Chains A and B, each alone.
Chain A
Amino acid sequence: NAGVTQTPKFRVLKTGQSMTLLCAQDMNHEYMYWYRQDPGMGLRLIHYSVGEGTTAKGEVPDGYNVSRLKKQNFLLGLESAAPSQTSVYFCASRLAGGAYEQYFGPGTRLTVT
């Protein structure tokens, strides 16, 4: 069981470039999440998904798009990267219903210059 994996681990982009972050989980979880973490700001939810083919906006969705074409994968896209998107991005997943804990991936450190 790999749990939650994220690709890539590190990335440097120039302003205006695009990229996609991949999150994969092998725990058959229904819910998946994308967070960004900045110093002193805790974890802020970007987008989330409660099932294959469904997505919803979180607290800070602007500048990001997501897709959940397969249950095990959740993609986060940056169409035109900005320096303000420099951050550490975490993906998480959990079971549906009730109050289950979230399992986090190792994170992607993104720098936009």
Chain B
Amino acid sequence: GQQVMQIPQYQHVQEGEDFTTYCNSSTTLSNIQWYKQRPGGHPVFLIQLVKSGEVKKQKRLTFQFGEAKKNSSLHITATQTTDVGTYFCAGPAEGAQKLVFGQGTRLTINP
């Protein structure tokens, strides 16, 4: 079945350093979604990318969708303690009725 892989699984940075997580799908995706889960919390939708090569920014967060629509990345510039959490990518499956989530990248930050 469809698989979505994320790397790295864990990342620890100093506050102010940049952070990137990568997402790769076994199949071409019509779109990709990113979610953030704070420690002890629930996943919260961040953004959706639809077009090949699309780049979207949310303040210090930059999201990219690959040209072949099989990979994506999330880059955070100058991390802050509020960025702590696990970041998940997810791609549609079964005619877009459901999502397949990557394993997530857990970001911890040393203040």
Nearest A residue to B102, CB-CB: A42
Instruction: Give the contacting residue for A101; candidates B41, B45, B102, B104; CB below 8 A.
Output: B45
Q: Name the interface size band of chain B.
A: 20 to 34
The stretch from B52-60, B73-81, B93-101 touching chain A is: B93-101
Q: Tell me if B's interface is mostly helix, strand, loop or mixed.
A: loop
Interface status of A90 (Cβ within 8 A of chain B): yes
Check if B97 sits within 8 Å of A31, measured CB to CB: yes
Q: Name the interface size band of chain A.
A: 20 to 34
User: Which residues of chain A are within 8 angstroms of B33 by Cβ–Cβ distance?
Assistant: 99, 101-102
Check if A42 sits within 8 Å of B42, measured CB to CB: no
Known: A33-B98, A99-B31. A43 touches B42 (CB 8 A): no
Instruction: Give the contacting residue for A40; candidates B9, B43, B92; CB below 8 A.
Output: B9
Q: Mark A residues whose CB is within 8 Å of B.
A: 31, 33, 40-45, 48, 50, 56, 58-59, 90, 92, 98-99, 101-107
Q: Mark B residues whose CB is within 8 Å of A.
A: 1, 6, 9, 30-31, 33, 41-45, 48, 50, 88, 92, 96-104
